[in-house]
Structure 1
Amino acid sequence: MYGFLKKTSHKASADMEDAKEKIKELVERFYLNLDAYKKGSYNETQLRREFIDPFFEALGWDVQNKQGFAEQYKEVVHEDSIKVGISLKAPDYSFRIGGQRKFFLETKKPAINIKEDTSPAYQLRRYAWSAKLPLSILTDFEEFAVYDCRIKPMPSDKVSTGRIAYYTYEQYIGKFDEIYDRFSKEAVLKGSFDRYIETTKGMRGTAEVDKEFLREIGSWRDALAKNLALRNPRLTVDELNFAVQQTIDRIIFLRICEDRGIESYGRLQALLNGTNTYRRLFEQFYQADAKYNSGLFDFTLDKLTPVLSTDDKILKDIIESLYYPNSPYEFSVLGAEILGNVYEQFLGKVIRLTAGHAAKVEEKPEVKKAGGVYYTPSYIVRYIVENTVGKLLECKTPKQAEKLRILDPACGSGSFLIGAYQYLLDWHTRWYNENNPEKHATGKKPAVYRSRAGWQLTTTEKKRILLNNIYGVDIDRQAVEVTKLSLLLKVLEGENEETIGKTLALFRERALPDLKDNIKCGNSLIGPDFYDSISPTLPFSPSLDGRGKTTSPLAPDRFNRGLAGKGTIISSPSPSTGEGWGGGEMDMDRRINVFDWNDDEKGFGRIMKEGGFDCVIGNPPYVKIQVMQESQPVAVEELRRKYKSAQSGNYDIYIVFIEKGLNLLRKEGLLGFICPHKFFNQKYGQNLRNIISEGKNIFRIVHFSDIQIFNNATTYTCLLFLRKSKSEYFEAIKLSSIDYKPEYLGSVHFEKFPISAWHQKEWNIQSQSHSAILDKLLKFPSLESITTNIFQGPKAGADNVFILTLKNYKKKTSVLYSASLGEEVELENSILAKYIKGKFIKKYYLDYSAQEYAIFPYDKIGQLYSEDQLQKQFPLTYEYLSDPCNKKILLSREEGRFKNSFWQYSRPQNMKILFNEKILTPFNAFKNSFAYDNNRDFLFSAGVSGAYGVLLKPDINITYKFLLCILNSNVVKFFIQNTSTCLRGGFYSYENKYIKNIPIPFIDLNKSSKKALHDKTVSLVDNMLELNKKLPNAKTPHEKELIERQIKITDNQIDRLVYELYGLTEEEIGIVEYGNK
């Protein structure tokens, strides 16, 4: 099911030879005139035109844009340099593939010694590090230096810091293959450039710009919060969070504008001289309001921040850190996407106030519980946007496109809205370039103007597109402000003081739009009808906040940003001390933060009256209902009341967002989410599956199996694309972690499926050939039908006490190591049972190398020993369990539930059948790993680290050994991989709900031919069991290799017999074996 279109070049060698000849000519010319070139009068412009441009043209790059691409698709962008003092504020060249930067190239005239001069290297590294480009190049043609730009640049760095390759022009021919294989266009397209990046990874000092900038603004938040709380003692926690966020946002905005040439460089820096820094900073804010009108500087609404007090030193430290030499950041190339990543993490923390009105910054509890905040990778955003917004723009004009309404209902820091807006800007630029641009460059509000780089959108047109097309909602007010900031910075990309000035002068318009009607704060899932449904039985006890206002802890907080993918969660603050985000100072309205989609002013009433949104995109929050129930039972009840998807099982909130997103679409509208694919198979997803199947809404699915899309998070995701209108077919693909690379995502081969095949069932993506085989297999009896039990073992609840490691086995007692006491103890053998974890259950054998034993305080029929029995029959064990340290652990389980029998297991299940003859399988496994416990002496536990036992019916005409070979066969592996849940690392779940459906071929032992087949199979299993016993005892590598080869041969023989039992054809066998790779 997994296939990619791979680019190949049939004339690569010819191209290389041609390139080599061209570069040889350049080298010879440079050598002949070296003295003239090294004179100071020979400048960079001449060098670029005569040597650098032809050098990279020889490497296959369209340096002069001879193909006539629009600005956003040019392979090589000659950056417009912005003069600031004696330095230039942009790299000379940006090399791109598909509009995405790959590396910068900075040129210097040959008179400069690149190998020894630190300034050019530091300048290049600042550019590339800020743009998050791993490698970039510095050259004067005489020298060619390659720098690893993942290392944070510091003014004190040596010129050699980060330099990973250095060539002189005399080496260009001798080292040509090396240069071509790394920096030619062909090398980048084939992945050689990316592989080169990987081989240079891991150097000391590497630090990603987003992580560093996050640390930087985090320190600003700490300092500002503490000082504002100190100097303004009447500030509430809500006001403090607002003031800190707005101040940081405004400073960052103006500093970025400086580096982009929109503001005069050094305006903020001038505040370092003199006193009253906060007042003088606000003078710049007021000027910015007059110039930009963005809402960011709207002081008719914000009456708080202008009247606050703060110490000069706090602001001066922040401003000083934004300028050379203290700042490693080059804000002219710091993209909105990088800022979005930074802010997504930034929003994971919140300022709280102590009882003494001291500010402290803490990680939100829900973020801590989730292990952090995870940002959607940009290539995922691009793919979703291209396959939703892109499809809706097909065959349209700008006039028609202005009617498109694009929404992210949980927008976070705005990554999806930024991606959608960028796509719209690129699409409009391309359309105008291809449709008589001169015509659209005239009139009162021209859409384009001609620059040195070609036809570009005017600021007015960019504003129009943003206001017409982009909409977002988030429950976190800070997230809403960040989204607005990111979008405004995107409007200003490519602008400078001259173009902004023209907008002001010619059209009497201020430079930026006010996004208050586009990006709104509210709870996307809960509307004003929430108040009509409040149950009188729910707790309601009004209390007074610190200012004498009545508050209610009815809804203990609001959704806050913070989980995998930028998830939202409902968290609980302290209702009366102000210790929470808003705490007791937030009334019920603000904590639940209901959002009325149909309200013309506060919601999107006009859009909803017109039928809804054309496109809903994003990464909805991933939050389990159990987490929500702890802190927000009111919201949980409301979701269950309002949404069908929330009415089955222990759901995750992302499924409610999918249902809501579908409801917000107008006819023919499209939805594109990245979300977990667990709802495909889990019980809680049944209602959502029904909604989508009955509505015939699916049009595409990209299933990532066990591929981990988010860094540092274990989340099993898919890309889900829905259409509001009905479809009879959809396309889907299930990707494999073995071959997957992000750059291949756009060229995968999809298979077409009828939607009727998924009607109300669990959803499993299988090719038609796989489905046909599965249909054939499912005609056989299931494992469940031939067994009495498929069961899990008990759960002790204190493994560090009950599970011990054998040190010395004696006749009546054994010496074992106790993890709880950190020492060896002696216990009676008769109360010990061999204990095996799931990971030690292997294919055909049990690996008991861990030598673990469990204390089993139960008799042969599973009855718990009394305390008197334990004391008399097992005094050593009783003494061990009664040790104060152990007893404390045992009594603390489940809040003291076992105080009258502290020695018992917390979940003593299936005790009577634990030691029966059985087959064992781990809970999770990379491949089917069934083993035979014929000695009936292994204890195993419940849970993901445990196992399942399989007991055959006593009257069934199948032996355990025969069943064992079926369960370990290729056929069963194929079945599980197509019906079970795929987990990280390529593991699959072998829990009961999946293995109970395994088809088992019935064999009639009364027929001689069938009995012969059965006996041959069992004989091979006996051989396999014997070989696996011998393998650990092999004394030489040769002996081990010989046994392993025999195991493989025997395994293949068993598979051939099993194929025959299932009646598979050679073609079907080929599909099974290929599908198992």
Structure 2
Amino acid sequence: MKGRIELVSYQQAKLDVERLVNEFSALSLKDRKSYNEAATRQQFILPLFEALGWNTRNAREVAPEENVSRGRVDFAFRLNGVPRFFLETKRVHEDLDDPRWANQAITYSWLKGVTWAVLSNFEELKIFNAEWQETIPARAIFKHLHWEEYLENFDELMLLSKEAVLAGVIDREAEKVGKKIKKTAVDKKLFQDLATWRHELFRHLRPYNPLWSVKQVDEAVQRILNRLIFIRTVEDRLIEEQRLIPLLREWESKGHKGNLVTNLSELFRELNDSYNSGLFAPHFSENAESEPAPYIKIIEGLHELPGGYGFYDFSAIGADVLGTIYEQYLGYIAQNPDATEVVSKRGKRKQQGIFYTPRFVVKYIVQNTLGRMLEKGGLDFALNIKVLDPACGSGSFLLEAFDVLDNFVAHERGEIIGENPKADADRRKHILANNLYGVDLDTQAVEITKLNLWLRSVANREHLPHLPNIRQGNSLVDDKDLAGDTAFSWKREFPEIFEKGGFDIVIGNPPYGMLQPHNADRRLLEYLNANFKVASFKIDIFHLFMEKCLDIARNNSYIGLIVPNTFITNVYTDKLRNMITDECKILEIAVSSEQLFPDAEVNNAIIVLQKENEAGGRQANSIAVALNVDELFLTNDQSSASYRHTIRQEDLILLSSGSWNIKLSDQSVSLFRRIQDNSDPLASIAKVNRGLITGDRDKYISKSPKSEKWLPIITGTDVNRYFIEPAKEYVYFEKPPNAGGTWNPKVHLSSKIVVRQIGYYPIASYDENPYCVTGNIFTIKPVELYAPHYILGILNSKFTQWLWQLLYGDFKAIFPELKGIYLEQFPIRHIDFDSQTNKAHHDNMVKMVQQMLVLQKDLMIAETMLEDRRHKLKQEVELLDAQIDLLVYELYGLSDDEIALIEANG
């Protein structure tokens, strides 16, 4: 454990805990019994967590939970705004074995979607795993410490230190306990219940109401569920008395006389008078013919909690958990006119590139857009900020924006949230009606966004706004012939916004997906090409959304999006990149090497922009770059230099492809410029080709030759540094009609450099056999005086490994790929063949690389040699490799410090 603690001194923490233990030990039994819960918390429990590295005076790290839940706990311990565990405190001598306290802590943590719950009266400290499926709460205990054991078992106590929680140590320690059965997470459990209830309702309403269309049945189902969830939430927040269970029990006590649906409708009428938001307005679903069974199942199910601990507490289920639930819930809809069942449309939403955004990403984007703007003004300024999500889904970005605005306005007014329900309601009604805007193509998404905003804002039994600014529409298409009723004109729908130039904040996670002739209407493609500057032969929906966001944002506005990172480097997105740099200051770019969305098959980038009309302001702008989103969000200090570097915007495009060189920093730009000045692009001294692509491997590739037209072929995995595995397959060397790559026999059937396509940097060798090569190999043939061995030595050097990852490195952690255009651009040190020194360097490189090719070939067959001979060969290879690297450093004129930098990263 000691080696893992970096940010707080292990020994200092132990000394601080020892001081607390001694102080507690000095108290008499009578004195201890005199401590109430508040005194115990302030004098012992919170100082204990201070010793473990938590800043208990910083509400962003350790915050009391809002008093909105009957089963709430005392404190949430957060990192980057996300709760990592909850703490329930009790007075000294309180019996922690009372199952009520464990039940309270575990249930609350589970409802919040948090793994760990801590219960302490300082005399004892219990850590529970809220995910373990145990009917008896005590069995969910992970660690149990007595105050006299705090020092003896200090490493166990340190599992709750900020640094250990940050590093995930407690989660790894829990895995050592063994494979315990886990409860279904609250989001999955409630989603499963919602899907079941939706299915049951649909199955009953469809045959009982034959005049309703499938769309109407689906609308009725959603309206019923939305209303019941709203009621359960206001019940649990104590805004309403219990309404649903008493209504059900009264109906049952009367022998099921009367119509349960009618009784519910009467309740809806009453609530409409109270809240007047549109949610409870008269709706055709109230006239539904149905058996009472599905309604009974839903009402009772909305109260049940698995594990036997109690009931669902909707006041404790956070907006982020509900957002996850509802994004999954959006994946269910009936899809054909004769349907009697609910069919999943999750695949459709996945196909359309629609995924729920992780909470930490949402918070980061909102804080770096809306948060920046709020720094510029006071109360009146904040009350007039217009925030838009043009693909709002279940409303996660708007919910976070709501929270940020609510906190800011309350602070500016000197109000404490939760203290005055009337003030809370007035403040929140203004924000909902005036600050937040959302559009989505999916009707269900629009309704769920509204529901989420109502749930987040309701503070008392008062009217809620109708949310007219949350609308259904096609954010990209304003043509009724193409989009029907969803055609959406931004300027017509929100004229008051565009009278002032556009939105102040545009945020979101736009959908992605290629639109091509095989999957999109020809007229739609023509429309997009005519109306979007970034539309090209490869149209991706998220490119169009990015252009639309720029178009509808005013000057000096902020734009924050999470999108696939392909737009940063792909050749066909040059128009989009140019549009961004021509219209905006790029404030932040953060890329991820891992997939942030479990079901998505893309790697992502977060980009934060500010619209800027002045070219000088854009060029002088300094961009903050984070190359690993995952590392960035492991710490609260998001400005940490260990995760970031900066680059001037005018230095962003140094390559002829127009790709953004976000791995370059202000420090490395000057070095790269010097390298460029003394080098030639590889394409100017050699021909680069991609190997052949058959389009039908079974037909064109064989393990043995079938005639003289079948030639030996190698694939990328056969290519190693300075060595090629013998060909194991043969290709029928007649170009098929739909083949790709290069089929020119002059390329394949001659000596050449071969470079593996898959890799973080070039891995190359020299093919003298010669072999045909597949499409996951690039070939290089010099066309001037340069010898292939000179180029090969540079490509296989540590210098190239470093420079390639700096300039062209693929952001993918798995199967990164080299691109031919980058090979063509790679700077090969220029040789003046009229210069004796230059020519000597060239010839020396050729000689060493030729030696290396021989040595590597010998090493590959060294398995049959004696151990001493193999060891000697390896030493010769390592020595020659180092000599080649030194020559490359000399060729490029690198200083000792620059060489040390490369060696450290090699």
For normalisation by structure 1, the TM-score amounts to 0.75
Deviation of 1:74 after TM superposition, in Å, equals 7.5
Deviation of 1:676 after TM superposition, in Å, equals 2.6
Distance 2:872 2:63 in 1: 58
Distance 2:428 2:80 in 1: 21
Contact 2:245 2:299 in 1 (8 A): yes
Deviation of 1:479 after TM superposition, in Å, equals 0.7
Corresponding residue for 1:318? 298
Deviation of 1:482 after TM superposition, in Å, equals 0.9
Corresponding residue for 2:884? 1054
Q: Does 1:772 align with 2:670?
A: yes
Corresponding residue for 2:502? 612
Partner of residue 76 from structure 2, selected from 69, 81, 94 = 94
Corresponding residue for 2:343? 361
Q: Does 1:522 align with 2:473?
A: yes
Contact 2:91 2:121 in 1 (8 A): yes
Contact 1:923 1:989 in 2 (8 A): yes
Distance 1:1039 1:733 in 2: 52
After superposition, the C-alpha distances for 1:392-420 in whole angstroms (9 at most, x for unaligned) are 11242212221111111111111111111
Q: Does 1:622 align with 2:490?
A: no
After superposition, the C-alpha distances for 1:427-456 in whole angstroms (9 at most, x for unaligned) are 1233233xxx6xxxxxxxxxx6883xx999
Contact 1:24 1:173 in 2 (8 A): no
3-state SS, counterpart of residue 126 of structure 2: strand
Corresponding residue for 2:484? 589
Q: Within 5 Å, which residues of 2 pair with 1:428-439?
A: 428-433=409-414
Contact 1:210 1:342 in 2 (8 A): yes
Partner of residue 334 from structure 2, selected from 334, 340, 351 = 351
Partner of residue 445 from structure 2, selected from 479, 496, 511 = 479
Does the C-alpha gap of structure 1 residues 698 and 323 become closer, same or farther in structure 2, counting only changes over 3 Å?
A: same
Q: Does 1:1066 align with 2:896?
A: yes
Distance 2:273 2:556 in 1: 41
Distance 2:626 2:845 in 1: 35
3-state SS, counterpart of residue 1064 of structure 1: coil
Corresponding residue for 1:894? none
Contact 2:40 2:91 in 1 (8 A): no
Corresponding residue for 1:598? 491
**Which residue identity lines up with residue 721 of structure 2 in the other structure?**
K
3-state SS, counterpart of residue 164 of structure 1: strand
Count of residues in correspondence between the two structures: 876
Distance 1:656 1:142 in 2: 60
Does the C-alpha gap of structure 1 residues 136 and 193 become closer, same or farther in structure 2, counting only changes over 3 Å?
A: farther
Q: Within 5 Å, which residues of 2 pair with 1:995-1006?
A: 995-1004=823-832
Corresponding residue for 1:330? 313
Q: Within 5 Å, which residues of 2 pair with 1:441-840?
A: 451=419, 457-492=423-458, 495=459, 500-501=460-461, 510-515=462-467, 517-527=468-478, 530=479, 555=482, 589-590=484-485, 593-599=486-492, 603-626=493-516, 630-646=519-535, 648-695=536-583, 697-704=584-591, 706-726=593-613, 727-728=617-618, 729-737=620-628, 740-744=631-635, 746-748=638-640, 749-755=644-650, 758=653, 761-765=658-662, 766-779=664-677, 780-787=679-686, 789-800=687-698, 802-803=700-701, 828=706, 832-840=710-718
Corresponding residue for 2:265? 282
Deviation of 1:705 after TM superposition, in Å, equals 5.5
Deviation of 1:469 after TM superposition, in Å, equals 1.0
Distance 1:410 1:199 in 2: 40
Contact 2:235 2:241 in 1 (8 A): yes
Distance 1:335 1:259 in 2: 13
Partner of residue 801 from structure 2, selected from 973, 976, 989 = 973
Corresponding residue for 2:406? 425
**Which residue identity lines up with residue 174 of structure 2 in the other structure?**
T
Deviation of 1:704 after TM superposition, in Å, equals 0.9
Does the C-alpha gap of structure 1 residues 753 and 192 become closer, same or farther in structure 2, counting only changes over 3 Å?
A: closer
Corresponding residue for 1:23? 21
Deviation of 1:389 after TM superposition, in Å, equals 1.0
Corresponding residue for 1:75? 62
Distance 1:369 1:449 in 2: 41
Contact 2:66 2:418 in 1 (8 A): no
Moved more, 912-921 or 20-29: 20-29
**Which residue identity lines up with residue 1056 of structure 1 in the other structure?**
L
After superposition, the C-alpha distances for 1:925-957 in whole angstroms (9 at most, x for unaligned) are 1222112211113x3322xxx22122232xx22
Does the C-alpha gap of structure 1 residues 76 and 782 become closer, same or farther in structure 2, counting only changes over 3 Å?
A: closer
**Which residue identity lines up with residue 47 of structure 2 in the other structure?**
A
Q: Does 1:846 align with 2:724?
A: yes
Distance 1:193 1:1069 in 2: 33
Does the C-alpha gap of structure 1 residues 782 and 94 become closer, same or farther in structure 2, counting only changes over 3 Å?
A: closer
Corresponding residue for 2:44? 55
Distance 2:439 2:608 in 1: 20
Does the C-alpha gap of structure 1 residues 629 and 283 become closer, same or farther in structure 2, counting only changes over 3 Å?
A: farther
**Which residue identity lines up with residue 732 of structure 2 in the other structure?**
P
Partner of residue 209 from structure 2, selected from 208, 232, 252 = 232
Does the C-alpha gap of structure 1 residues 1073 and 287 become closer, same or farther in structure 2, counting only changes over 3 Å?
A: farther
Does the C-alpha gap of structure 1 residues 232 and 836 become closer, same or farther in structure 2, counting only changes over 3 Å?
A: farther
Contact 1:922 1:948 in 2 (8 A): yes
3-state SS, counterpart of residue 107 of structure 2: helix
Distance 2:852 2:79 in 1: 54
Corresponding residue for 2:88? 106
Distance 1:615 1:949 in 2: 48
**Which residue identity lines up with residue 661 of structure 2 in the other structure?**
N
Contact 1:612 1:666 in 2 (8 A): yes
Contact 1:1031 1:1044 in 2 (8 A): no
Contact 2:563 2:606 in 1 (8 A): yes
Identity among equivalent positions (%) equals 28
Q: Within 5 Å, which residues of 2 pair with 1:300-311?
A: 302=283, 304-311=284-291
Moved more, 832-841 or 637-646: 832-841
After superposition, the C-alpha distances for 1:280-315 in whole angstroms (9 at most, x for unaligned) are 22223222222222222122xx3x211112221112
Distance 1:236 1:1039 in 2: 82
3-state SS, counterpart of residue 631 of structure 1: coil
**Which residue identity lines up with residue 58 of structure 1 in the other structure?**
P
Distance 2:63 2:599 in 1: 34
Corresponding residue for 2:162? 188
**Which residue identity lines up with residue 520 of structure 1 in the other structure?**
R
**Which residue identity lines up with residue 38 of structure 2 in the other structure?**
R
Deviation of 1:843 after TM superposition, in Å, equals 2.2
Q: Within 5 Å, which residues of 2 pair with 1:377-416?
A: 377-416=358-397
Corresponding residue for 1:951? 781
Does the C-alpha gap of structure 1 residues 217 and 705 become closer, same or farther in structure 2, counting only changes over 3 Å?
A: closer
Deviation of 1:381 after TM superposition, in Å, equals 1.5
3-state SS, counterpart of residue 1060 of structure 1: helix
- Unaligned 5+ runs, structure 1: 1-5, 83-87, 438-447, 502-509, 535-554, 556-587, 806-813, 815-826, 865-896, 899-904
RMSD between superposed Cα atoms in Å:
3.6
After superposition, the C-alpha distances for 1:771-795 in whole angstroms (9 at most, x for unaligned) are 22332333322221222x4222322
**Which residue identity lines up with residue 491 of structure 2 in the other structure?**
N
Distance 1:270 1:142 in 2: 46
Corresponding residue for 1:817? none
Deviation of 1:755 after TM superposition, in Å, equals 3.6
Contact 1:693 1:758 in 2 (8 A): no
Does the C-alpha gap of structure 1 residues 192 and 1000 become closer, same or farther in structure 2, counting only changes over 3 Å?
A: closer
Corresponding residue for 2:817? 989
Distance 1:649 1:342 in 2: 37
Deviation of 1:635 after TM superposition, in Å, equals 2.5
Does the C-alpha gap of structure 1 residues 706 and 22 become closer, same or farther in structure 2, counting only changes over 3 Å?
A: closer
For normalisation by structure 2, the TM-score amounts to 0.88
3-state SS, counterpart of residue 558 of structure 2: strand
Contact 2:38 2:91 in 1 (8 A): no
Deviation of 1:753 after TM superposition, in Å, equals 0.9
